[in-house]
Amino acid sequence: MPYPAAPALLSPAPSPPVLDVISIGRSSVDLYGQQIGGRLEDMASFSKAVGGCPANIAIGTARLGLRSGLITRVGNEHMGRFIREQMQREGVALDGIHTDPERLTALVLLGVSDDSTFPLIFMRENCADAALDESDIDPGFVASAAAIVVTGTHFARPYAAAAQRKAIRIAKAHGRRIVFDIDYRPNLWGLAGHGAGEERYLRSEIVTAHLQAIVPDCDLIVGTEEELHIAAGSEDTLEALAVLRRLSPGALLVCKRGPMGCVVFPGAIPPSLDDGVRGPGFPVEVYNVLGAGDAFMSGFLRGWLRGEPLETTCAYANACGAFAVSRLLCSPESPTFAELQHFVQHGSPHRALRHDPVLNHLHHTTTRRACALPLHILSIDHGAHDLEPVAIAAGADPARIPAFKRLAVAACERVAKGRDGFGLFIDGALGRQALFDAQRKGLWLARQFPHGEAGALADNPLEWPLGQVIKLIANARADARTPLAVRLPEIASVMAMARASRRETMIEALAAEGQTTAALLESLYKAGLMPDFWLVETPRQASDAEAINAVIRRHDPACRGLIVIARTAASGPELALAAPMPRIIGFVGGRAIFGDVLKGWLDGALDDTQAVSRMAERLGALSDAFDDGRSR
């Protein structure tokens, strides 16, 4: 939403604040080496994520239920757009994210060599976020938040430092709170070489002088022991805390102590660190420490800004830090408030939290991308064994089938008319070009996993765009090519891969003769399968849908829901009856929409325009019937 600029620093503050917190400074794209236990030189592939301390805090606090904003700069290119789009998906206010027309978005290369070695390279030469200046600080936007977070590394550049100081002046003038994350990276202050990104502490009187000029304005100061040392100019932690207390008598001081959790000092500094306020610690396996401080800060802000007791606030912070060190990436691994509450209340039987299936499922279902509902889907993912005989029977060249699939995309786009909630099932073989078309047009997509080793090697889901849902088939019928019991391990393996790579899944569940869909779903849940969507036969009556709903409610209340199958072009009344039934969120039509159109197109009775019109007419009719049923 737009935030009107205040005409002066002392203009009236919004009441109450629109946002809880705005973080200021770095935003980058992190490229994490996916091979664990080697040098960056040996990394063969990388996983991409939003990074940079303030950007991570913006995402982390938004996931914990705070209304968050970010002030930064990104480049006018793909990585800058990625940061902006991801912030939008996370619910972070975009008003403070400025596009720099001349500079590139910062990149960071990171890796995990062992339990204590985490090499990283900051690629920040003349990058966009380092050029942040006072013109990027809008008084109205800053005043719209209850608190701002300034970060130490952005005081290393004169223009960026001036920008943060301006934000501090505005926030103080409006009675807002100032949070200081010391966030010390020596090489970003020019104190170490490009290859020393992992270095956490180098003594510097110049840096100390810069930071001590900021401390008196702050209400909350957070740092590791080494960061407190650089801010205070003393390598004795208690003495450093005493120095900071003299400089900022009213600030809440927080000392992060890694696996020992944190200690908070609201008043005078006691003779021992252990005499400060503490919350419970959460000992976990350390997998990657990078980003742990940002997750910690996010958890602390959730408690502090919501007025929780300091012990609870420390627990939130320590738990969020535990999540971060037990997972690989930074911002994508930040917990949601549902995860945080579950972990604080119940803990985990796993020291390596990334192996906890309950937490992983909570994380997946509370961080997946938004999905516009209901879904109106045209299925055109049929393979050569289904469609080539149709072409041969029509005396046509089977090589024409890929072109027909592109016509199906055009038909879906025509019905959608720019609306969300329309999409297709498309394969990656005959439908390769159709997939590209649909992806460019922004249509919702699910793509069938090519069952069997040869097919999987030919069409690897790890190569698919993240937004494409992986569709799997659990066929319990007697005519299944492979018995379901044999296929289940493969389905489970694919679903585990999907979760690890942040992808969604759909299972088409086809019940055996005499078996209800509800019974089949019960057996699949007991086998450990928890897809985002179920694709099922259209229930004939509400009791059937309620039985399915009871199974889903018992095993996975976070399931997105059921997509039902329209078997014929005349399935409109059936869809209308099913649409308001429990958990039904969409429908799919396949041969019911394109079957005879394909035959007519192949034998020349229909041209491209007529084929598109015929399919669009049928998809539109089914969509209208389904939507009318939902509105009753």
pLDDT digits (tens, 9 = 90+) for 516-562: 999 999 999 999 999 999 999 999 889 999 999 999 999 999 999 99
User: Whole-angstrom Cα distance, residue 376 to residue 561?
Assistant: 14
pLDDT digits (tens, 9 = 90+) for 222-273: 999 999 999 999 999 999 999 999 999 999 999 998 888 899 999 999 999 9
The backbone torsions φ and ψ at residue 179, rounded to the nearest 5 degrees and listed phi first, read: -110, 130
pLDDT at 200 (0 to 100):
60
- Amino acid 471 reads K
User: Whole-angstrom Cα distance, residue 207 to residue 226?
Assistant: 13
User: Whole-angstrom Cα distance, residue 210 to residue 603?
Assistant: 78
pLDDT at 457 (0 to 100):
47
Answering whether pTM is above 0.85, one says: yes
pLDDT digits (tens, 9 = 90+) for 332-375: 889 999 999 999 999 999 999 999 999 999 999 999 999 999 99
pLDDT digits (tens, 9 = 90+) for 174-213: 999 999 999 887 877 766 655 554 556 678 898 999 999 9
pLDDT digits (tens, 9 = 90+) for 483-522: 999 999 999 999 999 998 899 999 999 999 999 999 999 9
Confidence of residue 111 (pLDDT cuts 50, 70, 90): confident
N-term to C-term CA, the chain: 33
Q: Which domains does the chain have, with CATH numbers?
A: 19-290 (3.40.1190.20), 375-631 (3.20.20.70)
- Put the strands of the sheet holding 120-123 in their side by side order: 46-51, 28-33, 106-110, 120-123
pLDDT at 437 (0 to 100):
97
Rounded mean pLDDT, 443-470: 80
**Helical H runs in 334-393?**
337-346, 357-367, 384-393
pLDDT digits (tens, 9 = 90+) for 406-427: 999 999 999 999 999 999 999 9
Is pLDDT at 2 greater than 60 in this prediction? no
- Amino acid 386 reads D
Beta bridge partners of 147: 21, 177
Number of other CB atoms surrounding residue 543 within 10 Å: 11
